[in-house]
């Protein structure tokens, strides 16, 4: 289907105005298609207008314009032409059969393997609304939605407005309350035999919904989820002048969802992994809470006031990301959320911003020429870098002026569309400052600034100079710490408040600090370095730094230094071994272990060095288990068990755990841990197909199906590898989730010789399946199926040839470009092209 260009969207928005969509969906036509009848009321501003409406139909039965039947055969490539339209009001009817999706795009259909029940839900963002109903699919043509649905009588229907049954229950007819004006990408529907938990708050109905097989798990967590929801809802109403703009607040946890969540007004959809069926850490509960807060922020940022075109997705995502962490800190018991942001999210932005595919937080409109290009910008820049930029903006403006500008923005553009310029105007009015200049330097530029301290002794004391590589201004805190040799604790001095580029040097009397930590409060977005003495202090006493956010800044900086070839990977592992066993913040433990396991051990070190790295990880995890044997820190213990299982080189201990059904001292092996242990045993050649089938008999859920697919693909057996390859690349049956699981299991560093022959087959095979199956599968197989462990020049050459010769679809081209850039980085780290030194200078 053809993509919508920015030029086409601008032309169409100038010619027509949207009034209303009246949509009637029939979900009782079998397992392949559903019925979609759309009546669109719109106005035309100029006589003789030519335009088009979008629809991706299996069959278009009827087209009626103002009572006159038109020829359905004119429908081509997802568009129906509308020519010679007269000035004034029009009504267009489209009657079609639409295909169900199994890749999370449009109307997704899922049958639960646990009980055979079927569930449907829509994902219309960002250009998939025409897979559900006929529409003028662009964000600046907002309309009222009136939706009716025919479903099996035992089902529940959910949508953007309150859903009510119409007529007799046996008819299965539902009507949803008409919405306020919203964009097409926000239309939402979920239908099936949902298990629901309902309450009311602030005069509105609130609901939680999940498939029946997860009912017990939702019931366990419902009070916690509602508590977070209410606290965030109330805090947003204290900050924003504009009240919540819709008539209900449902949260549906849906299966096989490609995104983390989607901010549909009145019906937020989440991936149902957020309904925990196995043990999780407190950091993972905090992550769920942050997503709840993030999506609620979208009710204002994105749903009430919507971007005009996709160049301004940051107006949605950066703000929701920032507000999610901000609101959690203020309104809930999660008070260290910015440490979690620093170690779990911010590096996503740093990594994306250093690749050739980087783009400004707010690109110029011509930088997003069509919807295919726009889809690629839902990345670490639009989320994490943008949120970091906003955090710096708040540090510069102050919270009072920042939120005054936001409220001005909402007042001026409620239920309409706005641009970056509109938003900056509101901030400038509220603050009286030159926010436009700030936006030019922060939002219209790419790349990461670097801030490196130089500390020297003077006759009477010491001197600090800060070297700035980059173009952005920064307001930041520089932490100063002294090492207490007796306790190995780092004692803070009064910090420095530094303005870049205005402040250049600081001099002080007395003894120089043992640690100078640039960006200590993590208020800005920049890579940092360390002077030699500071790094020596970190190596000796990182665990003695009292604040989790400060430790997160250091671990993030060390990660960047490894990636830039300025700190040997083994030095990072030495710091991990020395200090992680004393770490109390679960998010830091998880983030550090994940980087060490997946990047250092699997990519940055050679095959000969890898066993020592895995031994370091397992020894560290055993220390964490010894420290937590009393049950005082179950989250730390769970994080250690997971990484120990992933890093084991001898399956005997894993066999003992599985036989006992528990790790000695806990935790008991729940389904997630059992599948994790079985996967590692499969990789090491200690599991059989029969073992996998026996585990699947214990856990036949959708997650169990994914675990089995992952384990089958991981078996070090030629027949198993070829079977997995066939499922991924020669058939089109796998859902996105099962394709992801199979891809995750396939490539394993321990199986390099077995997999060698698949490397030249991989790139053309992915290009072909992406062309057949579309962006969601392209992302899954291009990301999770990329042979990341194969860090050598031949892999790079094969990937570059594919980009040059195979003409991959845009989603895959971007994915491959990023993966190949990461591969080049890994080669540089391995080769020591920019080998570092003990000082870890930036």
CB of 836 closer than 8 Å to CB of 568: yes
CA distances from 216 to 195, 209, 213, 271, 786 (A): 9, 12, 8, 17, 36
Residue 651, phi then psi, degrees to nearest 5: -75, -5
Q: Which of 105, 263, 273, 295 is catalytic?
A: 295
What is the DSSP code (8-state) at residue 668? Answer: B
Residue 254, phi then psi, degrees to nearest 5: -110, 155
CA distances from 730 to 532, 712, 722, 733, 734 (A): 55, 17, 11, 9, 11
CA-CA-CA-CA torsion sign (188, 57, 145, 184): positive
What is the DSSP code (8-state) at residue 171? Answer: G
Residue 767, phi then psi, degrees to nearest 5: -60, -40
**CA atoms of 678 and 710, how far apart (whole Å):** 10
Query: CB-based contacts of 823: which residues, under 8 Å, 6+ apart?
Result: 788, 791, 795, 796, 799
Half-sphere exposure of 132 (CA within 13 A, CB side): 31
Residue 441, phi then psi, degrees to nearest 5: -80, -30
Strand partners, 239: none
**CA atoms of 705 and 683, how far apart (whole Å):** 18
CB of 566 closer than 8 Å to CB of 530: no
Q: What six digits make up the tokens of 264?
A: 């549909």
Q: What six digits make up the tokens of 383?
A: 């989320």
CB of 618 closer than 8 Å to CB of 626: no
Cite the beta strand spans of 2-48 per DSSP E. Answer: 16-26, 33-44
If you count them, how many residues does the chain have?
Answer: 842
Strand partners, 192: 156
Query: CB-based contacts of 615: which residues, under 8 Å, 6+ apart?
Result: 649
Determine how β-strand 163-166 pairs with β-strand 173-176. Answer: antiparallel
CB-based burial of residue 806 (10 Å sphere; 0-12 exposed, 13-18 middle, 19+ buried)?
middle
Query: With b meaning 16 or more CB within 10 Å and e meaning fewer, what string describes 441-472?
Result: ebbeeeebbbbbbebeeeeeebebebebebeb
CA-CA-CA-CA torsion sign (593, 598, 601, 605): negative
Determine how β-strand 515-518 pairs with β-strand 474-484. Answer: antiparallel
**CA atoms of 762 and 184, how far apart (whole Å):** 37
**CA atoms of 93 and 21, how far apart (whole Å):** 10
CA distances from 465 to 453, 457, 479, 780 (A): 6, 12, 14, 46
3-state secondary structure 785-800: CCCCCCCCHHHHHHHH
Catalytic (active site) residue 295: yes
Q: Coil, strand, or helix at residue 500?
A: strand
> Per-residue DSSP letters for 356-425?
TT---SS--GGGS-BHHHHHTT-STIIIIIHHHHHHHHHHHH-HHHHHHHHHHHHHHHTTEEE-HHHHHH
Strand partners, 270: 253, 261
Task: Please identify every residue annotated as catalytic.
Answer: 295
């Amino acid at each position: 289907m053809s993509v919508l260009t920015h030029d086409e969207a601008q032309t169409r928005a100038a010619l027509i105005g949207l009034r209303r969509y009246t949509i009637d969906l029939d979900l009782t036509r079998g397992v392949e298609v559903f019925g979609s009848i759309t009546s669109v009321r719109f106005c035309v501003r100029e006589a003789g207008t030519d335009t088009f409406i979008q629809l991706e139909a299996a069959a278009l039965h009827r087209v009626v314009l103002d009572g006159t039947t038109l020829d359905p055969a004119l429908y081509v490539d997802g568009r129906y032409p509308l020519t010679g339209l007269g000035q004034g009001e029009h009504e267009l009817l489209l009657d079609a059969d639409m295909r169900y999706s199994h890749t999370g795009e449009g109307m997704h259909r899922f049958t639960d393997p646990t009980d055979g029940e079927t569930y449907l839900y829509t994902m219309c963002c960002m250009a998939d609304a025409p897979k559900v109903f006929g529409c003028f699919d662009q964000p600046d043509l907002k309309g009222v939605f009136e939706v009716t649905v025919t479903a099996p009588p035992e089902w529940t229907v959910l949508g953007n407005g309150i859903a009510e049954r119409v007529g007799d229950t046996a008819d299965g007819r539902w009507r949803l309350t008409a919405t306020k004006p919203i964009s097409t990408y926000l239309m939402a529907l979920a239908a099936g035999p949902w298990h629901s938990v309902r309450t009311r708050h602030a005069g509105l109905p609130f609901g939680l919904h999940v498939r029946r097989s997860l009912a017990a798990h939702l019931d366990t967590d419902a009070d916690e989820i509602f508590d977070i929801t209410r606290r965030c809802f109330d805090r947003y109403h204290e900050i924003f002048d504009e009240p919540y703009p819709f008539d209900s607040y449902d949260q549906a946890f849906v299966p096989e969802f490609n995104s983390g969540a989607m901010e549909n007004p009145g019906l937020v959809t989440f991936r149902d992994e957020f309904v925990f069926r196995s043990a999780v850490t407190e950091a993972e509960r905090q992550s769920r809470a942050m997503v709840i807060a993030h999506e609620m922020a979208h009710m204002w940022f994105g749903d009430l006031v919507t971007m005009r075109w996709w160049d301004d997705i940051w107006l949605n995502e950066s703000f929701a990301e920032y507000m999610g962490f901000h609101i959690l800190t203020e309104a809930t018991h999660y008070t260290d959320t910015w440490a979690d942001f620093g170690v779990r999210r911010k590096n996503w932005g740093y990594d994306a911003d250093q690749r050739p595919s980087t783009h400004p937080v707010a690109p110029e409109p011509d930088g997003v020429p069509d919807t295919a290009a726009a889809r690629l910008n839902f990345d670490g820049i639009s989320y994490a870098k943008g949120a970091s930029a906003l955090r710096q903006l708040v540090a510069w403006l102050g919270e009072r002026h920042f939120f005054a500008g936001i409220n001005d923005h909402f007042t001026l553009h409620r239920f309409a569309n706005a641009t970056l310029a509109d938003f900056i105007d509101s901030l400038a009015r509220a603050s009286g400052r030159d926010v436009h200049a700030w936006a030019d330097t922060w939002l219209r530029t790419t790349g990461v600034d670097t801030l490196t301290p130089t500390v020297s002794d003077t006759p009477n004391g010491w001197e600090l100079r800060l070297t700035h590589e980059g173009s952005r201004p920064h307001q930041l805190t520089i932490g100063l710490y002294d090492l207490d040799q007796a306790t190995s604790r780092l004692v803070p001095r009064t910090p420095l408040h530094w303005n870049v580029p205005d402040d250049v040097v600081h001099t002080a009397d007395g003894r120089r600090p043992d640690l100078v930590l640039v960006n200590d409060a993590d208020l800005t977005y920049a890579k940092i370095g360390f002077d030699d003495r500071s790094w020596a202090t970190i190596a000796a006493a990182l665990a003695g730094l009292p604040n989790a956010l400060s430790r997160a800044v250091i671990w993030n900086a060390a990660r960047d230094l490894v990636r830039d070839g300025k700190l040997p990977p083994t030095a990072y592992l030495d710091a991990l071994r020395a200090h992680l066993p004393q770490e109390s913040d679960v998010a830091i433990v998880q983030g550090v272990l994940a980087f060490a396991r997946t990047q250092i051990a699997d990519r940055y070190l050679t095959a000969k060095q890898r066993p020592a790295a895995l031994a370091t990880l397992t020894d560290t995890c055993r220390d964490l288990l010894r420290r937590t044997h009393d049950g005082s820190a179950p989250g730390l213990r769970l994080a250690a068990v997971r990484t120990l299982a992933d890093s084991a080189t001898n399956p005997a201990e894993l066999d003992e755990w599985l036989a006992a059904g528990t790790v000695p001292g806990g935790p008991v092996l729940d389904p997630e841990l059992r599948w994790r242990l079985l996967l590692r045993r499969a990789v090491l050649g200690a599991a059989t197909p029969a073992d996998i089938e026996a585990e699947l008999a214990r856990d036949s859920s959708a997650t169990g199906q994914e675990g089995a697919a992952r384990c089958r693909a991981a078996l070090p057996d030629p027949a198993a590898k070829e079977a997995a390859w066939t499922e991924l690349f020669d058939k089109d049956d796998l859902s996105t989730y099962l394709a992801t699981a199979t891809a995750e299991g396939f490539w394993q560093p321990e199986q390099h010789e077995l997999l060698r022959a698949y490397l030249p087959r991989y790139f053309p095979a992915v290009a072909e399946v992406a062309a057949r199956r579309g962006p969601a599968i392209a992302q899954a197989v291009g990301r999770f199926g990329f042979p990341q462990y194969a860090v050598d020049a031949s892999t790079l050459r094969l990937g570059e040839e594919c980009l040059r010769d195979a003409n991959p679809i845009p989603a895959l081209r971007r994915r491959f470009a990023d993966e190949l850039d990461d591969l080049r980085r890994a080669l540089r780290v391995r080769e020591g092209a920019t080998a570092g030194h003990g000082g870890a200078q930036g």
